[in-house]
Amino acid sequence: MTLQLMLRAPVRFSVAILLLGCLDAFMLNLLPGAIPSPWGIELGKLLLPLAWVVVAALARGADNSMQNRKSLASLTRPTVWVAALAIGLGLITLDMVIYGLLFPDTHWQDVKLLSGRVVEFAGAQAWIVTLAAGICFFPLLVLEPTLSFSEVLRLSKSATEINGRNTISWFITGVLCVALMMDSFVRAYGLTMAAGIVFMGVLNYVAYRDIFERQSANSPETVNAGAGKLPNPC
């Protein structure tokens, strides 16, 4: 269902993948002259939640063209971006604590930011974000404006537990590994990982739609009558 939904709107998702690749190239050119090199790693961790917020809105519009404008308008809500930034900053803080305790002698200034590395650092956080926030967090955050941050987190984590947290984590890890290997072999300069990030973002939306809207099939022409009335997965 996830790949089928992406193929139904190839232009919008291709543009999203291309923009992630261009953002990587921009950071690569900017960092050596303006920002200390180690921050490229941290910016990658901040990028994933922001990307998945946008992909959630794009996926809704691809799934149902009648909801396209409404879903994109949801991106204007400051609370959506604040919550996404909170997830990203949490990743950065956790990483700093772990490396400070376990690898205090690591010299990040020696890390070379080759093309594609920023996007790779972003994709590498996918399983951590899914483990911490659940697979439906970003679609719920974007598409259900009446829910608070704590309610979104609770519903998402409950839905993930019910549908197999370990299975979901392993699947996302598998997608991540495939994207990393393909990017290494093909030398796609981060575009393969960018495609993996977008794919996983659409997967989040498909899981949300299946669990909370009881719509298992892609149906771009109709609006689910039960949308907006969320069943409690607990």
Render pLDDT for 91-123 as a digit per residue (tens, 0 to 9).
Answer: 888 877 776 777 666 655 555 666 667 787 788
Q: How far apart are CA 177 and CA 31, in angstroms?
A: 26
Q: What is the pLDDT of residue 222?
A: 44
Q: How far apart are CA 78 and CA 150, in angstroms?
A: 16
Q: Where are the beta strands (DSSP E) in the chain?
A: none
Q: How far apart are CA 42 and CA 32, in angstroms?
A: 15
Q: How far apart are CA 143 and CA 129, in angstroms?
A: 19
Q: What percent of the chain has pLDDT over 70?
A: 76
The domain of 125 spans 2-212
Task: Tell me if 10 is assigned to some domain.
Answer: yes
Mean pLDDT of 20-45: 67
Task: Tell me if 224 is assigned to some domain.
Answer: no
Task: Tell me if 92 is assigned to some domain.
Answer: yes
Q: What is the pLDDT of residue 30?
A: 60
3-class SS shares of the chain: helix, strand, coil, % to 5: 75, 0, 25
Task: Tell me if 219 is assigned to some domain.
Answer: no
Q: What is the pLDDT of residue 76?
A: 94
Task: Tell me if 95 is assigned to some domain.
Answer: yes
Question: Residue 62 corresponds to which tokens in the numbers above?
Answer: 């691809």
The structure tokens 């996983």 sit at: 200
Residue 64 in contact with residue 219, Cβ under 8 Å? Answer: yes
What is the domain count for the chain? 1
Residue 202 in contact with residue 13, Cβ under 8 Å? Answer: yes
